[in-house]
Amino acid sequence: MRGEPAYEELLRRAREQAVLAGCSEFLAWDEVTYMPPAGAAHRAAQMALLAGLIHDRGADPRLGELLAAVEASDLVADPDAVAAANVRELRRLYDRDARLPRPLVEELARVTSLSEQAWAAARRAADFAQFRPWLEKVIRLKRREADALAVTADPYDALLDDYEPGARADDLVGLFDALRRELVPLVNALTYSAPRRPDTSLLRRAFPVERQRPFGEAVAAAVGFDFRRGRLDTTTHPFFSTLGPGDCRITTRFAERRFTEGLLTILHEVGHGLYEQGLPAEHYGTPLGEAASLGLHESQARLWENTVGRSRPFWRHFFPAARAAFPGVLDDVSPDDFHFAVNAVEGSLTRAGADEATYNLHILIRFELERALIAGDLAAADLPGAWDEAYRHYLGVVPRDDGEGCLQDGHWARGMFGYFPTYTLGNVFAAQLFAQARRDLGDLDPAFARGDFGGLLGWLREKVYRHGGRYPAARLIERVTGSPPDHRPLVDGLRSKYGELYGI
């Protein structure tokens, strides 16, 4: 079989599989936004059937034949060529799918659909006991998945590899150790000995929820999110979902006395959305039309949420609009005091609302706990106690109940073991990318203060988004910044920013 016909058939099959995956994504999005509770059992059956159909296509031996034919052709002679990059990633996905039995794939889809509903109910009741049986089921299934994949001797590596191809737990241990050495002393200094402290009470004033959504949508549009190709909804645990070209869904949650948490969550999901909207539509359904990794995806969410959304020039532009949107709430507050409050550092209980300085400690806790759960070193029944002890040790706080403790995230309910470390990888990548953007574009602060974010967005589209999955994430970071992934720009940026704010 000649390379060209095999390659065309390979792409056709990949695009058909992507259309099916988009149907599954739509059902998953609907499940946590609009589906009535009584639909849970039928939705689980739908998700299981679709997962099986998608798996059948992904593990079809015909794909193996097509891949072998293209791999033996001149189409892959240049490793950076479109065909070579597509074949590299399609080979990786095929080899992974071929190791997984369809019954396991279907059962994972069915159980995690039901488990997410059980988690949401348990979270509302702040009662881990309600969720424990479901977590135990999910863990057993994920262990079976890891055993089937057998990426390395460490089963966690197989689960991590699904989100960050090529990443290994041992490497992450080294990264987290380095961050812990740098961040714990910084957080202690900011928390206990800094000469200046922000007034965070002004963020807990009453910001009417019905006004938060239009304000958040205006901010999202201002930074570049295209609402002709996307929409915003609310849910228990915010996420983004891409159903296909021109259809990117983002979600958030609002609370009257947590205005900035809702807004920053919008910016986080908008970051994901901007990446999805910037991918080359002509390559939809192939690796060239998809993000290189979840770590790179999270880098965009973290960049727009924190580097942009917590910056002084961002609020120099949007603070007057916030005053106008919430009459009387911020009349006695200065822009500088508001900016300082948005950047308060404290040992908080929740990851989603955590500040930049402590955020990676929240991820470290989850990384350690989920590795222990998968390895069998921690029983699901013991998770609440282990969670509380880790928060006491690393952040000096203890949850009052399971709702603000081990039930705050829905990732494990959805079977997403291995996802959490990508948030920290995203922080590392984001710091490197933004530092390079400043080198290439100059000082971005004046543009942000004018409400002009087009320069940064255009740079990201050119340097990151348009490449899709052409390069592995670490290689793309090195191509753009001249350096392999490196945690030092992140630490240096945090020290500089918070040193100025807190006077240390």
Q: From CA 491, how far away is CA 503, in angstroms rounded? A: 17
CA distance 361 to 78: 41
Spatial neighbors of 371 by CB under 8 A, at least 6 apart, are 156, 169, 377
Q: What is the pLDDT of residue 80?
A: 87
* C-alpha–C-alpha distance, residues 75 and 84, integer Å: 7
Q: Mapped to the 3 state alphabet, what secondary structure does 108-166 carry?
A: HHHHHHHHHHHHHHHHHHCCHHHHHHHHHHHHHHHHHHHHHHCCCCCHHHHHHHCCCCC
Which strands form 230-234's sheet, in the order they lie side by side?
230-234, 247-252, 240-244
Please give the pLDDT value at position 63.
97
User: Which parts of the chain register pLDDT below 70?
Assistant: 1
Q: Please tell me the predicted confidence (pLDDT) of residue 3.
A: 84
Domain boundaries, the chain: 3-147, 169-502
Per-residue pLDDT, 65: 96
The 3 state secondary structure assigned to 61-105 is: HHHHHHHHHHHCCHHHCCCCCHHHHHHHHHHHHHHHHHCCCHHHH
282 classed as catalytic: no
User: What is the tens place of the pLDDT at every residue in 161-209?
Assistant: 999 999 999 999 999 999 999 999 999 999 999 999 999 999 999 999 9
Catalytic member of 164, 269, 290, 356: 269
Residue 186: both structure tokens together: 């910084």
pLDDT of 127 reads: 98
Number of residues written out for the chain: 504
Query: How many CB atoms are located within 10 Å of the residue 115 CB?
Result: 24
CATH number for the region 169-502 comes to 1.10.1370.30
pLDDT for the residue 1:
53
